[in-house]
Amino acid sequence: MAKFDSTVNVYRDKVWRTCLSHDLVPGDIISISDLSSNIIPCDAILLEGSCITNESMLTGESVPVTKTPATPETLERIDLTSPSFPLEISTHFLFSGTSIIRAKKTELGFGGKSWIISDSNYERASDPKNIITPIFPTRATALVARTGFNTSKGVLVRSILFPKNTSFKLYDDAFKFIGILAIIALCGFITSAINFFKLGLSLHVIIVRALDLITVVVPPALPASMSIGTSFSLSRLKEKLIYCISPTRINVCGRINLMAFDKTGTLTEEGLDVLGIQSYNFKSKHLHIMTQDINEIIDSSDDNYSLENLNIVHALASCHSIKSVFGNLIGDPLDIKMFQSTGWTLEELEYDNDSNNCLIETPSGALSSKAKKIKKMLPTIVRPPIIMEDHKSINNASKANSDENFKSCKELGIVKTFDFSPSLRRMCVITRHPMQKGAQLYVKGAPETIRNLCLPETIPNNFSEILLQYTYDGFRVIALAGKISKLSWAKLQKLNRNEIETDLVFLGFIVFENKLKPTTEHVIHQLSTAKIPSIMCTGDNIFTAVSVARQSGIISESTEIYLPVLVQLGEDSLAEVYSTNSVLKKVVMWQNMDNPLKILDPYTFTPLICKNVGFSALDLNPDQSIINIDNHNSLAIDVMVDNKLFKQKNYALAISGSVFRHLMDNESQNTANKALMLGLVFARMSPDEKGELMEFYREMGYCVGFCGDGANDCSALKAADVGLSLSEAESSVAAPFTSKSNHIGCVLDVIKEGRAALVTSFSCFKFMALYSMIQFTTVSLLYTFGGGLGDFQFLYIDLFIIFPLSITMARTLPYGKLFIKPPTATLLSKKVLTSLFFQILLFFFLQKILYNLVKNQSFYTEPIHENPNEIGEIIIVSYENTHRNTVPEI
């Protein structure tokens, strides 16, 4: 993964030359349209041309990303010391390690005409009245910005090579326990040395045999015995296609007491299916009944379905960032599903560098030179399906691309695309018919965002009612809007998105459904049975997230959910009443999702009932909107405590990203802690906020696990105690665990194996500690008269008694179900120390009793050296040696 080298064409000293990628330095200009490999060798800024890249290696996101040439403003804003960039900069930035799906030379970028004047192909129309055709550089070029470990890939590799240090109490206690054993060994060493000196043993024997006690009390096999269980657990997980890059995290898995899940691609299926389309009836000012048949939408639109008027079908067919690569649609799966639902086709202009011609892939037929020239101004064209009538399909199809059909066909050319912005939660396009003036501007995005951009008179009367019902049912809803522009082609090119996204006409909804994966409910139920709470952390709508959480079992049927509303208070503020920060004068109010008259105290979170409230959490955008209220008394009227719910404690919170940010930045730590501890659903969360949430739970003492599909979850996967990625993308290797399965059943396997490894580690450690202390008492008693164990006896005990038992314990399989009570996590607990201490005492007194019994036997003789040459050495052959070596074995 880390080592990579390829040949690239680099522009140095005004000459294009070939060099190896490891010789690149910042400031070089390279060609990306003719790389020997499709892997980008460095971080670079795109100067000329355009390309589509697959960044799953870095982000885990499988959706291809379109890159466009940088502008002077981009270079002014870029910070090369930052490992990541905002979206408006990253769209011009090529990241090392990502792969190029397609590179095109058809975009003039940062350098302008002066840059490509000596290295370009361009043509002008012979007639001055005609529009100048685009200028096409012969290469797609990029400026090298970072190389080696300074690149985005280098940061990822460093995070793998040098992972974040994690402390686990088991290992901390193990070192403390070894320290105690070392003190015991030191005491035994001093006592034995003094005793040997009194017995007249040689200095060599005194030193060697006294030092033997240290290896007896602190056996070298002790660390290995703790890792045996981990090794077997790793091998069993590998058989289940679960891979681990941090073996020490196996034991941590056994202590997980909180599990967090991403939604899309983790709890639910990866793709979205179009449930239906609901267009706007301009006459009744209501939304039509939802339909899946695009022809019904066309029929119901009547006169609105024309090139001069806005139409929801046009919006569905054109408002996307889809590209066509070798006949395959590349882009966001949601965009592809939306486009495919229309039945339209997409064609893109391809520039042939050898013949200096523009090639346009069309289903059949040929276009005139004038039509081709016009289409060269529209690199992407979408066209409706050809409707065959009276069984004339063959004849009509052969004429589909004739000039007459070209003039009358309702195809649309996409003039300019403004990609989806997570911060704006929308995207927009400029479209026009190749043979007509003016343009149609279409916008799609989150319904609450689109509504604010539309003319109020175009908003349906049942907008809120319909949208609320869809989100309650867990569906994903996208709103579409548009407007007509009479500007020329040149002026259209200069439009910015702020000019487009104003005074829009609402067109309708497209509704997607996202089904739960088959194993989701079972896994959540198993975790719940084992008293391991689950939470959801997603970037989706808060209502959709709550709906999926209920379906999956994260929220039980009886649990009442409270939604947040961020209230901006006036002078007579609630903040003053509660003696909080009166400068901010903002407070988060919590309202019951099913009963608006049920609220929570904003600071104690006590459930309350009131007769009337002055706010609504069921607004379309409760996760971002701020309600302005001058008088705090109007927030809630006739408030009283809901004693029944207060006693049951059967309520939870759904927290949006904006409210999460407010709680962390502006509220007191006590209030924030209470809110987050009650949270079960976290919606509209950014990747960084997911990681911050995991850090919070760790600080609160939880051993938290996070399971995600790798798409924008890398921060949370790294921040959690145990990160489990369901993605096979290279970015997911930064997580401790990676599963090749696409469902969360692997969570149960990881926890089971973690508990098995943890119990095995405890058992092996206790066994080795007990064995060392028993052997210590045995050797110490033999040392009292100058005796000891022979080398073969030590070898026999280690190889034929201790080692087989350790292996046998380590190979114990995990229990089939998760037990409610997890294994202990500390070696210095009362339970562990008590059992170990009494076992040691039992063996000590047993050996002492047997020692006295042997000495009282009639056959007993005092141990002596049979060979006079061995005087000064320890005595190996004796009755004491025999019984003290036999008893521990038994």
Report whether 756 contacts 814 (CB < 8 A). Answer: yes
Closest CA to 467 of 287, 342, 736, 596: 287
Q: Which of 43, 262, 540, 642 is catalytic?
A: 262
Closest CA to 777 of 834, 827, 835, 841: 841
DSSP code, position 263: I
CA 268 vs. chain centroid, Å, equals 14
Structure tokens at 30: 């390279």
Burial class (CB in 10 A: 0-12, 13-18, 19+), 410: middle
Report whether 61 contacts 732 (CB < 8 A). Answer: no
Residue whose entry in the numeric block shows the structure tokens 């000495």: 855
Report whether 507 contacts 481 (CB < 8 A). Answer: yes
Report whether 612 contacts 645 (CB < 8 A). Answer: no
Structure tokens at 412: 């649309």
Structure tokens at 567: 């209230």
CA distances to 193, 233, 415 from 247, in Å: 41, 9, 53
Which SS3 state, helix, strand or coil, does residue 708 take? strand
Burial class (CB in 10 A: 0-12, 13-18, 19+), 644: exposed
Report whether 82 contacts 150 (CB < 8 A). Answer: no
Which SS3 state, helix, strand or coil, does residue 678 take? helix
CA distances to 113, 195, 325, 404, 537 from 349, in Å: 21, 95, 11, 21, 41
Inter-residue long-range contacts of 732-737, CB under 8 Å, 24+ positions, other chains counted: 732/60, 733/1, 733/160, 733/245, 734/156, 734/159, 734/160, 735/710, 736/163, 736/244, 736/245, 736/246, 736/249, 737/237, 737/242, 737/243, 737/244, 737/249
Q: Left if phi > 0, otherwise alpha if psi is -120 to 50, otherwise beta: which for 302?
A: left
Active site residue 619: no
Three-state SS sequence of 32-77 = CCCCCCCECCCEEEECCCEEEEECHHHHCCCCCEEECCCCHHHHHH
Report whether 506 contacts 458 (CB < 8 A). Answer: yes
Residues 6+ apart with CB under 8 A from 794: none
In this structure, is the dihedral angle defined by the CA atoms of residues 833, 839, 842 and 845, taken in order, positive or negative? negative
Strand partners, 8: 19
Q: Give the whole-angstrom CA distance, residue 673 versus residue 278.
A: 42
CA distances to 29, 126, 729 from 354, in Å: 23, 22, 36
Which SS3 state, helix, strand or coil, does residue 517 take? coil
Tell how strand 29-31 and strand 141-146 pair up: antiparallel
Report whether 482 contacts 440 (CB < 8 A). Answer: yes
Report, as residue numbers or ranges, the catalytic residues: 262
